[in-house]
Structure 1
Amino acid sequence: MKASMATPHIILYVWLVLFTLPLLTTSVKSSTYIIHMDKSTMPKTFTSHTHWYSTTLKSLSPSTTTTPQLLYAYDNAIHGFSAVLSSAQLEALKQSPGFISAYPDMNVKVDTTHTTDFLSLNSNYGLWPASNYGKDIIVGVIDSGVWPESESFKDYGMTEIPTRWKGECEPGVQFESSMCNRKLIGARFFNKGVIAGHPGTNLTMNSTRDTLGHGTHTSSTIGGNYVKGASFFGYAEGIARGVAPSARLAMYKVLWDEGRYASDVLAGIDQAMEDGVDVISISMGFDEVPLYEDPIAIASFAAMEKGVFLSSSAGNQGPDMGSLHNGIPWVLTVGASSVDRAFAGTVTLGNGVAVVGWSLYPAKALLLDLPLVYNETLKACDLTLMELHAKEMIVVCEDVGVRDLVVQMFQVTQSKISGAIFISKDSFVIEEGDFRCPGAIINPKDAMPLITYVKTALNPKASIKFQQTILGTKPAPAIASYTSRGPSPSYPGILKPDLVAPGTRVLAAWAPKVPAAKLRSTSLSSDFNIISGTSMACPHAAGVAALLKGVHPDWSPAAIRSAMMTTTSELDNTLGPIQDVGYNFQSATPLAMGAGHVDPNKALDPGLIYDAGAQDYVRLLCAANYTDKQILAITRSYGYNCSNPSSDMNYPSFITNSTVQQFQRTVTNVGDGAASYRARLTAMNFNVSVAPDTLIFREKLEKQSFKVSITKTQEGQEGVLYGSLTWVDDVGKHAVRSPIVVV
């Protein structure tokens, strides 16, 4: 079994380039302006948009005291830049070729740790107010425990605990029952399996207290209360809050320092159902086991029968295909994506040129005007060679195929060098690996000004400033390279993952006794941590499910899953297809992102749902030729039968490995009343037909059925072929989209 968590990681995003230009000649007041430019008019003589913008500023009339300063060069959010200018310089700039518009910079108040903003959850409209922020929905978290003193678990603003709650707060080592409250309403621990697996062992923390940090992070992501001033050593500053901040949380500790056993996992899920949870979040899974031997598959079938929604993580074994776990037909399987936020270290060269690189160095440090060293000997950052040079310097490390970035960073960490600038596009380090040394990472395509300067200056110097957070980066979301991919090894006939949610660089509560970072060799503690993994994506989806459960308490788990899947987005914030980091930023396939990126507000009103019940899943198992005993292991009941087996169940996605395949589906109208929907198919490399292609509903909750027929157009076609079917209503309010995959 693997807990789907990754340690603090390095993500490389170089979004912005800054310049400080020579002094000009007027003594007038200056201000910061945002300037929009027509990039299509950029003369071909310029090597980049940054070069064009900086040259444009240099062409302005000189003055005596005002220094035009290029702050940021934009190429995604807008085409243009921001700069410090005098009013006269601004007027002159307006006459420059390509100028579109300019306006003064404005103050912005950052008031969140951002993933809820990225999901468009808003206090004024949509799913948050409709669900009353998940009020009284109870989420059971199967994980490593909880740090009850965290501000995220304070119960201010919470009402009395629902009377239907049957759970308890179990005392243990360094954990009193009084530590639970109206937010953290339950805490239990399950250790019999780990004790049996390690006879005579003494558990280091025999209670629900978290010794890994993982459970504290996931549970606060789901439903943590509001915490002002949260950050990770100055990064991601703002108000921390969970996706469903008014939901109740109950922790079931099944992961231990001494081991992680299926028996304990089963016990935790079993108790959660007994206690009366509405949603279960479980960020772990079992690899290469059939459904009838998978504790999560088995326990979640019972949860589904009771109407309990279960969100699970896909795993962190990407980007290989067929690597996911929890490919269970009756649960939600969640992959991981990025958000539009980057963490920065600004490198300012001695000539005034500044480059914003990626950094999570956990210290309030400023490396100021230190010698900058880059040569053939040192550019691989060999520890022995670095020790021969002066310690008070910043060394430039380049990916030269000799040492990868992880090794280079380790070498710098072990040395006494003041800091480093790493030139690399290492796809692994973009998302994973801790950041212990003072430095910043720059993509090779943005490194030319740095290399030119350090090679030509007589006495090259540089400064690095840390603890900077940049919002609105593009493109986002992108599919994380580490997130595990389908097809599902346990049941390839159902497309998995179902969808993706924020999983890369998520800030949430942490156990302060567990090191959150290292400063070279010194361990650092924090009340919040930024980590990555499908473990972080799963609780985001669980939080959305809790909100939907609050609005639609009568919906089945399948209905909630359908609403979340059919309203996802397949576009990023550039309005282009979501890209896959693990495949060189090509367009992501449904085997990586499922239906797409979760959109909570659209899921509130999906229009149509694909519903299913326990017997539908049993028909699936029967068609898979499971024996009676194997089916019974999952269903725990002889009340189901195999009289009508079918591998085609009412799922909101389609996948086949056959040349010809026909699917039968039934949708339920959950809109306001009568409606008409027409089928819309995307362009595909295979033939698809839908019959009928129009569905007419006379009233709410009416059901209509249709068939989808798929035929491969050419024998021997390789790769993943995919497209989608979208049912669009006649007023354009609802678009109910399902991915179609041929493997």
Structure 2
Amino acid sequence: MREPKPSFVFPFPFMLIIAHWFLLVIHGSAAESSTYIVHMDKSLFPRVFTTHHDWFESIIDSSKSATLGNSSIQSQKVYSYSQAMYGFSAVLTSQELEAVKSSLGFVAAYPDRTATIDTTHTFEFLSLDSSSGLWHASNFGEDVIVGVIDSGVWPESESFKDDGMTKKIPSKWKGTCQEGQDFNTSMCNFKLIGARYFNKGVIAGNRKVKISMNSARDTAGHGTHTSSTVAGNYVSGASYFGYAKGVARGIAPRARLAMYKVIWEEGRYSSDVLAGMDQAIADGVDVISISMGFDGVPLYEDPIAIASFAAMEKGVLVSSSAGNGGPDLGTLHNGIPWLLTVAAGTIDRTFGSLILGNGQIIIGWTLFPANAIVEDFPLIYNKNTSACNSVKSLSEVAEGIIVCDPVSDPDLVFEQRRFVREANLLGAVFISDQPLVTEGHASSPSIVISAKDAPSVIKYAKSHKYPTASIKFQQTFVGIKPAPGLADYSSRGPSPSYPGVLKPDIMAPGSRVLAAFIPDTPAAAIGNNVYLPTDYNLLSGTSMACPHASGVAALLKAAHPEWSAAAIRSALVTTASPLDNTQNPIRDYGYPSQYASPLDMGAGQIDPNKALDPGLIYDATPQDYVNLLCALNYTQKQILTITRSGSYNCAKPSFDLNYPSFIALYSNKTRSVVHKFKRTVTNVGGGPAIYRAKVTEPKGSVLTVSPETLSFRYKNEKLSYDVLIKYRKYKKENISYGDLVWIEDGGAHSVRSPIVVAPSGIV
């Protein structure tokens, strides 16, 4: 079993910095406009104007004239300021902003920001906060029960209070609140309705082991974080040391939670995992969320595969993490055909800024856990010290903010950070476009900026006689573009356990997610000897992406209680988006020059509101999965380990599972391949409907769909179609991608399935 990297590193939680997030698009196209706050020099107020309002209006009008025909018709003043600051706010295009900057008395300008944001911000990023949609259709997931298989829970967290929850637990619930060390039954309530722990496997593996916390109480923070992400209650004023401050809430804030502790500091055994999942099914959960996985085991030896089959039989959707082994292909775990596998993406949020003495503001990335005063310090960049590669050289730096040379290797940035911290500098600026995995990254007053922003900083530091800079901490910026991007650490398909089903299925927010944490362990540090706890932590990993998908699945279960686990997965896959918030293909931050492929992110970013009404679904029965196992030539006993019942048969073995995506693998020894797929879709729309196929062929392939039109006469009618993929290999092996989209006449629904054609040797 590979433990998820994110949250077990002591004394600091696992964090992954996605450097591309640092880029804040301040200047849009000529046709775009944004609100900017503009600071002016009051001492240069022209006496020709009666009031400062008149002066500001004149500047705005002049900016329109300067841009001629390119001026925005929306350009307008929003506010004038004379007390708290001197200046104005206005809606300007990028060209108008440049004209304003050339005005007499201009000091600085920066985009208008949201002062406080809600939760992890991810529910907002996923558009769950709309006035209609899945939140409202599901009544926020009311009375759906989510079982979380993890490291336990911190029951005193505000995220697990039961304010606003109905006082009647669903009658299907058969679970309990198990007493144990520092944990009694009164700690459960109408939100956290159950808590159990399973460590017999740990004890059996080491008879001399002493369990340090023999109960469902969390001592790692991972389970507290994931469970509050799924269904945490509303908590005002949550933040990570002032970052991401707002109202915390889970994706399904009115769902019930049950914790099954199977991860222990003393070990993590498949037997305990299997026991926890087994009990969750028996207790009557609707959704299981499991942010862990097992590597290098066949399906019939994988406890998650085995337990999730039983869950699927009872209509329980299992949502799992893809793993943190990216960016290489074939590193994914939980590539199990009958569950949901979730990749991790970034969100449109970053923290902190660098302000140069010339007024330039650069949005960067920092999580230094205090509102440190690093203001108007000398900015230092010279060839002798800016390598930042030794404590000795940095110790010779005069007091100020050092600008370290840009590096491409995350390990080198880690070294730079360590040397800067040990040299006790007043501040530092690091330059990188590579994702950073840096334990203790926020322990010194520093900030990371992108390589794109670096030249202007270095030029200013070298060209001015007395360059200065300030670093602003505890700032939160949202609306960053482009977002989402595929996180570099997210494991990629194809699945080693069975590559014939395209995995992962979807991507969900997984980087820098704010959620509840345990308050008795260090979550940040200042310097080398000051460690700080927090009630809410920012963590990264597919462990954080999984509970987002679990929460959406819970909402769908509430809105469509009749849907099977396969139907819910299908709705999530066929409505996911392959585009970011600039309407361009989602980027892969493991390979910044490339777009993410279906092997990286599945169908794309999860879209909860569209999943509520997918139009068509690809359903599957337990026997369909057994037919796949039979085609794999598993022995009867191997199949029985998964199915637990001899009631299934192998009369119709088939590799062609009714899945909402396609992957065609060809042998390295052959130069051409023909794959035929048969799919059956169910009309879950409002009634009669006509769908027409639109195909984007993978490069080098000819793809035929038959029939090309599906005419449904009534709701829940099932129709079938075939897909024929002909591929010819040329000079070298090639991985190519495309999609099949069924578009309803009238445009009400668009049902998209990703397609991959690849050599079998990539597994």
Q: Normalization by structure 2: what TM-score?
A: 0.87
Measure the CA separation in 1 of the matches of 2:161 and 2:581: 35
In the alignment, what sits opposite 2:727?
Answer: 712
CA distance 1:412–1:109, change in 2 (3 Å): closer
The Cα of 1:459 is off from its aligned counterpart by 2.7
CA distance 1:84–1:253, change in 2 (3 Å): farther
Whether 1:480 and 2:487 are equivalent positions in the alignment is yes
**Partner AA of 1:672 in structure 2:** G
**Partner AA of 1:320 in structure 2:** D
Tell me the SS of whatever aligns to 2:499.
coil
The Cα of 1:675 is off from its aligned counterpart by 1.0
Whether 1:183 and 2:197 are equivalent positions in the alignment is no
**Partner AA of 1:183 in structure 2:** K
The Cα of 1:81 is off from its aligned counterpart by 7.4
Measure the CA separation in 1 of the matches of 2:362 and 2:744: 48
Q: Deviations over 1:569-594 (max 9, x none)?
A: 11111011111111114211100010
Contact 1:377 1:385 in 2 (8 A): no
Measure the CA separation in 1 of the matches of 2:595 and 2:319: 26
CA distance 1:349–1:150, change in 2 (3 Å): same
Contact 1:25 1:65 in 2 (8 A): no
CA distance 1:716–1:152, change in 2 (3 Å): same
Measure the CA separation in 2 of the matches of 1:662 and 1:718: 21
In the alignment, what sits opposite 2:652?
Answer: 644
Deviates more, 1:450-459 or 1:256-265: 450-459
TM alignment of 1:193-204, pairs within 5 A: 193-204=201-212
In the alignment, what sits opposite 1:150?
Answer: 157
1:499 to 495, 502, 506: 506
Measure the CA separation in 2 of the matches of 1:36 and 1:669: 56
CA distance 1:341–1:216, change in 2 (3 Å): same
**Partner AA of 1:671 in structure 2:** G
Whether 1:579 and 2:593 are equivalent positions in the alignment is no
CA distance 1:83–1:149, change in 2 (3 Å): farther
Whether 1:535 and 2:550 are equivalent positions in the alignment is no
Whether 1:138 and 2:145 are equivalent positions in the alignment is yes
Whether 1:509 and 2:516 are equivalent positions in the alignment is yes
Whether 1:258 and 2:272 are equivalent positions in the alignment is no
In the alignment, what sits opposite 2:23?
Answer: 14
Contact 2:350 2:478 in 1 (8 A): yes
In the alignment, what sits opposite 2:471?
Answer: 464
The Cα of 1:203 is off from its aligned counterpart by 1.1
Measure the CA separation in 1 of the matches of 2:61 and 2:495: 47
CA distance 1:189–1:103, change in 2 (3 Å): closer
TM alignment of 1:372-451, pairs within 5 A: 372-386=379-393, 388-389=395-396, 392-399=399-406, 404-428=412-436, 434-451=441-458
**Partner AA of 1:664 in structure 2:** K
1:127 to 116, 124, 134: 134
The Cα of 1:741 is off from its aligned counterpart by 0.6
CA distance 1:456–1:113, change in 2 (3 Å): same
CA distance 1:129–1:401, change in 2 (3 Å): closer
Measure the CA separation in 2 of the matches of 1:275 and 1:66: 58
The Cα of 1:391 is off from its aligned counterpart by 6.2
Measure the CA separation in 1 of the matches of 2:61 and 2:210: 64
CA distance 1:600–1:433, change in 2 (3 Å): farther
Measure the CA separation in 1 of the matches of 2:63 and 2:345: 31
Contact 2:664 2:756 in 1 (8 A): yes
Measure the CA separation in 2 of the matches of 1:461 and 1:103: 19
Contact 1:185 1:250 in 2 (8 A): yes
In the alignment, what sits opposite 1:727?
Answer: 742
Contact 2:384 2:393 in 1 (8 A): no
CA distance 1:448–1:271, change in 2 (3 Å): same
Tell me the SS of whatever aligns to 2:472.
strand
Measure the CA separation in 1 of the matches of 2:91 and 2:588: 25
CA distance 1:260–1:106, change in 2 (3 Å): closer
TM alignment of 1:30-49, pairs within 5 A: none
In the alignment, what sits opposite 1:231?
Answer: 239
Contact 2:331 2:491 in 1 (8 A): yes
Measure the CA separation in 2 of the matches of 1:107 and 1:626: 56
**Partner AA of 1:737 in structure 2:** R
In the alignment, what sits opposite 1:26?
Answer: 46
In the alignment, what sits opposite 2:329?
Answer: 321
Whether 1:693 and 2:702 are equivalent positions in the alignment is no
Contact 1:19 1:354 in 2 (8 A): no
Contact 1:610 1:651 in 2 (8 A): yes
Measure the CA separation in 2 of the matches of 1:14 and 1:69: 26
Q: Deviations over 1:213-257 (max 9, x none)?
A: 000000000000001111111111111100000000000000011
CA distance 1:169–1:712, change in 2 (3 Å): same
The Cα of 1:343 is off from its aligned counterpart by 1.3
Tell me the SS of whatever aligns to 1:318.
coil
The Cα of 1:208 is off from its aligned counterpart by 0.6
Q: Deviations over 1:361-405 (max 9, x none)?
A: 111112122222221111111333345425632111113579711
Tell me the SS of whatever aligns to 1:656.
strand
TM alignment of 1:366-377, pairs within 5 A: 366-377=373-384
The Cα of 1:150 is off from its aligned counterpart by 0.5
**Partner AA of 1:14 in structure 2:** L
In the alignment, what sits opposite 1:736?
Answer: 751
Deviates more, 1:172-181 or 1:455-464: 455-464
**Partner AA of 2:678 in structure 1:** Q
In the alignment, what sits opposite 1:656?
Answer: 664
The Cα of 1:672 is off from its aligned counterpart by 1.1
Q: Deviations over 1:459-492 (max 9, x none)?
A: 3322211111111111111111000000100000
Measure the CA separation in 1 of the matches of 2:654 and 2:623: 11
Whether 1:552 and 2:566 are equivalent positions in the alignment is no
Tell me the SS of whatever aligns to 1:657.
strand
The Cα of 1:719 is off from its aligned counterpart by 3.2
CA distance 1:65–1:338, change in 2 (3 Å): closer
Contact 1:32 1:83 in 2 (8 A): no
Deviates more, 1:136-145 or 1:672-681: 672-681
Q: Normalization by structure 1: what TM-score?
A: 0.90
Contact 2:516 2:537 in 1 (8 A): yes
Measure the CA separation in 2 of the matches of 1:733 and 1:212: 46
Tell me the SS of whatever aligns to 1:500.
strand
In the alignment, what sits opposite 1:56?
Answer: none
Measure the CA separation in 1 of the matches of 2:428 and 2:546: 35
Contact 1:362 1:517 in 2 (8 A): yes
**Partner AA of 2:691 in structure 1:** Y
Whether 1:169 and 2:183 are equivalent positions in the alignment is no
In the alignment, what sits opposite 1:54?
Answer: none
The Cα of 1:80 is off from its aligned counterpart by 5.6
Tell me the SS of whatever aligns to 1:580.
coil
The Cα of 1:274 is off from its aligned counterpart by 0.8
**How many pairs does the alignment contain?**
710
CA distance 1:603–1:432, change in 2 (3 Å): farther
Measure the CA separation in 2 of the matches of 1:317 and 1:116: 26
In the alignment, what sits opposite 2:297?
Answer: 289
Contact 2:408 2:434 in 1 (8 A): no
Q: Deviations over 1:97-125 (max 9, x none)?
A: xxxxx999698763443100111102620
1:668 to 673, 682, 686: 682
**Partner AA of 2:2 in structure 1:** K
The Cα of 1:8 is off from its aligned counterpart by 2.6
Measure the CA separation in 2 of the matches of 1:400 and 1:548: 45
1:337 to 330, 345, 370: 345
Contact 2:440 2:524 in 1 (8 A): no
The RMSD of aligned alpha carbons is 3.3
Measure the CA separation in 1 of the matches of 2:459 and 2:281: 63
Tell me the SS of whatever aligns to 1:620.
helix
Contact 2:408 2:433 in 1 (8 A): no
**Partner AA of 1:233 in structure 2:** F
Measure the CA separation in 2 of the matches of 1:73 and 1:116: 27
Contact 2:63 2:96 in 1 (8 A): no
